[in-house]
Amino acid sequence: MMVRPVTCRSTSARRRILGLRRLGIVGVAAVSAVGLSGCASSSGDDATTTSTTATTGSELQILTAYPDYDAAGFASTLKRFEESTGIKVRVRGAGGNFVDQLYDPAVQGQIDVAVFPQPGVMATMARAGKLVPIQSDLVAGAEAKVWPALAKVGEVDGVDYAIPVRAWVSLGVIYRSDIFAANGWTYPTTWQGLDDLTAKIRASGTTPWCIGAGAGGATGWALTTLVEEYVNAHGGAQPATTTGDWIAHKRTANDPVVKAGIAWVAKLMQQPKWSTPTGMAILSTPVERSHDPLFADPPGCVIAPAYNFIASGYPKNWESMTEFAQFPLADGTSRAVRGGPDLAAAFNKDEDTQKFMEFLATTKDYGIEWARTGGYFSPDRGVAVSNYPGRGERFSATVMATAGALVPDATDSMPAEVGSASYWKGLSSLANKKTSLQKAIATIEGGWAAAAAAPDTPGSSGP
């Protein structure tokens, strides 16, 4: 595809490390681009740098939601493709504007491949006829080399459109194991035990939780993960079915299980000394700074939702004082794990594009280059655990290897008007103690009405 010179931008927003989920999926607020051949980012606020060499000729354009540091990591996994085919690749980071750009017909005409952090958005584009199915002879091999729980994640209505390029499983929580040991606390095996432990820690004079939800235009995504954990834990014998019904809106935000999860998150935010910070301050605390109190002396909290992408800011001795743990299930028995992929899908049948999709489907140990740098978990089960320098990624591999069932990220799989808008807004409104639970639920449900009114074909007349 013929491309124009690309400008790389660096803004203060980039440092927010937004990350939908989890592993740093939603990125910068400004559009940026990182090419394999190099497109340097300035470290100054709101500074702009332009590639020194104008881009000419044929070059694959890949749109992602990755911030600069993740776009560079993704680009490192594609060097084998460049070297073996001679085809140049440019990875473009759309940041917080990812969905808006996908729905823009002009952008659709400029990109060859997109990496979707939200399977629901990918499915919407596939059903709208914007994506090209994977060649049938590649499907079996692509499914065989990934973790079994990820084998069918790129399928829409029985047709395979996408290939996983990054995986994630919920890390659950990170807690101060040294503080727990000193106080005789043990991490619980049931959700009621978690509530009881929270109350016990609070009664001891220590604030139990650290929560931060600030993420620019994506503020509130971190709150959705807590609701999803609650629904997964209380989903009964078939938690994947429960979550599937929630995704399909067969269970609304007024469903008893979903509503109870929303109420649980509201309680964490609103009750004094249940979290650091509390109330509205949660919305102005960037997600990537939310663990700072966990490592303060004395600690400002002892439990926090775990996010792999912020571990780089931890103190050097963090592993000696902490442990990861999955959120406990309601009954403490069967284990269904929240997890999913980032999915690459093609927008055209160009020969170079199809060669790229074949590379993703057939390459052995895909992602090993990125895995070795940390902050990344490969969907390819052939990447040995020893390649992951980070404790979080090693924990992810252990969890994925033993996952009885994989429960998708619910809000990521919902229409963008819901999963990337009304749930964020509705849950964020509960940081204000004056907001009623029913008002927040009405805001959430309003997203479904907006999704129903949206055009069937993204990019035809706007999202």
Residue range 221-280, pLDDT digits in tens: 999 999 999 999 998 878 888 999 999 999 999 999 999 999 999 999 999 899 999 999
Of 60-74, 173-187, 236-250, 393-407, highest mean pLDDT: 173-187
Cβ-contact 68, 10 below 8 angstroms: yes
Kindly report which listed range (101-110, 125-134, 332-341) carries the lowest average pLDDT score.
Answer: 332-341
Could you give the C-alpha distances from 141 to 37, 137, 150, 348, 368, in angstroms and in order? 30, 8, 13, 21, 18
The rounded distance, in Å, linking the Cα atoms of 135 and 428 is 42
Alpha helices in 297-404, H assignment, sequence order: 318-321, 351-362, 368-371, 391-401
- In 3D space, the residue among 222, 211, 209 whose CA is nearest the CA of residue 302 turns out to be 209
- Greatest C-alpha distance within the chain: 66
The rounded distance, in Å, linking the Cα atoms of 64 and 78 is 14
Residue range 160-189, pLDDT digits in tens: 999 999 998 888 999 999 999 999 999 999
Residue range 316-372, pLDDT digits in tens: 899 999 999 999 988 766 567 888 889 999 999 999 999 999 999 999 999 999 999
| H or E, element range at 209 | strand 209-210
Backbone angles phi and psi of 215, in degrees to 5: -160, 40
Exposure class string for 122-152: b at 16+ Cβ within 10 A, else e: bbbbbbeebbbbbeeebbeebbebbbebbbe
Q: What is the pLDDT of residue 10?
A: 25
Round the average pLDDT of the chain to a whole number and report it. 84
